[in-house]
Amino acid sequence: MAVPVGAIAILIAGLAARTSPRVGAAAALGVATADGLYAAVAVTGGAALAGIIAPVAAPMRRIAALILVALAAHTAYTAIRQHRRPVRAAAGAGMTTPIRAYGGILALTVLNPMTVVYFGALVLARQASGDLSPAAAAAFVLGAFLASASWQLLIAAGGSLVGRALTGRRGRLLTALVSAVLIVALAAHTATS
């Protein structure tokens, strides 16, 4: 669960391709932080929380999908604007700094209520077998964080490599537009699943 390829992964790859490895890494660590937090929530009260979250999961998925569509539109708009007027384009908007990328991706990942439900189901299975000691719970949380961080950092590094290969104005435009289209497609899938 900590290593999916979805809208967030594509957002991180596109962000790293268009900005810098530091911004991509910060975004990746935002996802890992959310996964670690959800794993901690799951081991401390996942069963109870899963029951509370289940009824609001569909609206939260729709909200996350709308945010993803807005990010995709912003990405495409900014890319086109920067392609047409590279000198006048504002680079400070959006998730172009490590802190903004970390916070933005953390918030977007936390909006996915199914993550805590999935982690809760795993913890319930472990509790049923009697294997969830405090040390096992801590190892589970650490493992979820490290698995997520390593995967997301790999995605950010891949995005950075693509960004270096496509260094020209057209390459950055193409990267941003492809990223935006994929994010919209995955947002639609998120909203309907």
Percent of the chain past pLDDT 90, that is, above it, reads 19
Per-residue pLDDT for 33 more than 90?
Answer: yes
Q: Averaged over 25-53, what is the pLDDT?
A: 81
Per-domain residue ranges of the chain: 7-192
Per-residue pLDDT for 136 more than 90?
Answer: no
Quick one: pLDDT at residue 92?
Answer: 40
Quick one: pLDDT at residue 113?
Answer: 62
Amino acid code (one letter) for 68: L
**What global pTM score does this model have?**
0.70
Quick one: pLDDT at residue 23?
Answer: 95
Quick one: pLDDT at residue 152?
Answer: 94
Per-residue pLDDT for 159 more than 80?
Answer: yes
Quick one: pLDDT at residue 103?
Answer: 93
Q: How far apart are CA 79 and CA 75, in angstroms?
A: 6
Cβ–Cβ < 8 Å for 57, 190: no
The DSSP secondary structure of 146-160, one letter per residue, reads HHHHHHHHHHHHHHH
Q: How far apart are CA 53 and CA 60, in angstroms?
A: 9
Tens of pLDDT, residue by residue over 54-111, are 676 677 777 777 877 887 887 788 778 877 776 544 444 478 899 999 998 998 888 7
Quick one: pLDDT at residue 89?
Answer: 44
Q: How far apart are CA 97 and CA 100, in angstroms?
A: 5
Per-residue pLDDT for 190 more than 60?
Answer: yes
Q: Averaged over 12-38, what is the pLDDT?
A: 91
Q: How far apart are CA 46 and CA 5, in angstroms?
A: 24
